[in-house]
Structure 1
Amino acid sequence: MASLNVGSLGDYLREQRRSAQLSLRQLADAAGVSNPYLSQIERGLRKPSAEVLQQVAKALRISAETLYVRAGILDERERDELETRAVILADPSINEKQKQVLLQIYESFRKENGFDADTDRDTAEDGPRTAAGSGADQPSSPEV
């Protein structure tokens, strides 16, 4: 009855809910979904929509993209980046501002190495662009 990644999605959601020390009812209320529906998702009986996953992720304070990957909505090749973000967002030892700063630093390093949200799909197979390449990535300076 359950589709491919739904079981692991349910297990993951249950794990995250318990880590956040929330009851099923508390999470359902925070996410704006019914308690029985959330229970069915956790047991792998239902495959939630992207909108429901986003609401649950927000209530759990985790990355919605991580849930999308677990549910089979997003491509697997983005998993490493998403898991890195999820680990940062789920870390209880740092506050929200620190999490956002870490994510900004992470994103700046990715951009510096030729990966960003728009080019990830194009460069994932080819590897990052380097400064030693064609020079197309480097700004040209006017001659004086």
Structure 2
Amino acid sequence: MTSKRSPLDSLGGFIAEQRRSAELSLRQLAAKAGVSNPYLSQIERGLRKPSAEVLQQLAKALRVSAESLYVRAGILDEEDRPPTGVEEAVQADPLINERQKRVLLDVYTSFVNENAAGHRPSNDSKEK
């Protein structure tokens, strides 16, 4: 017998998995995201559908892309989702711990911000 999982079940399971991966208790994640413990518990169990704003807060607290939560919640289609491969790959990697993930993402973000500010990395060292 097969059962279809609703987007809310998938979303709640994903949030719970990310919370455990980040070694956060339900209470700690709720506090970081600015939501109540019971509300977060209901989201994780697929009983409540959080707003886009709550998803954004949870994404920030979990250090995952908000778009990944929007897709799982059925708010955004997978095809409409902008590519964020580096962040998702780092967050999904089970071989590195949360501190290492934060450091990798911080370094990556600093490079992206530097390049966006007009500083292009050179392919050779012309600054001798």
Distance of 1:84 and 1:98 partners within structure 2: 12
Q: Which runs of 5+ in 2 are unaligned?
A: 117-128
Q: What letter matches 1:70 in structure 2?
A: R
Match of 2:124 in 1: none
TM-score when normalising by structure 1: 0.62
CA 25–37 in structure 1, closer or farther in 2 if over 3 Å, else same: same
Distance of 2:20 and 2:80 partners within structure 1: 26
TM-score when normalising by structure 2: 0.69
Shift of 1:101: 4.6
Distance of 2:91 and 2:19 partners within structure 1: 14
For residues 88-120 of structure 1, give each alpha carbon's deviation from its aligned partner in whole angstroms, at most 9, with x where no partner exists. Answer: 356643514323156x39xx9xxxxxxxxxxxx
Greater relative contact order, per chain length (Cα 8 Å cut-off, separation 6+): 2
How much is the aligned-residue C-alpha RMSD, in angstroms? 2.7
Higher helix content, 1 or 2? 2
2:88 aligned to which of 73, 77, 86? 86
For residues 47-84 of structure 1, give each alpha carbon's deviation from its aligned partner in whole angstroms, at most 9, with x where no partner exists. Answer: 00000000111111111111001101111214582455
Q: What letter matches 2:48 in structure 1?
A: R
Match of 1:54 in 2: 56
Distance of 1:38 and 1:64 partners within structure 2: 16
Distance of 1:100 and 1:90 partners within structure 2: 17
Distance of 2:74 and 2:30 partners within structure 1: 22
Q: What are the equivalent positions in structure 2 for 1:105-116 lying under 5 Å apart?
A: none
Match of 1:31 in 2: 33
CA 23–85 in structure 1, closer or farther in 2 if over 3 Å, else same: same
Match of 2:69 in 1: 67
Match of 2:106 in 1: 97
Is the partner of 1:69 in helix, strand or coil? helix
Q: Which runs of 5+ in 1 are unaligned?
A: 109-144
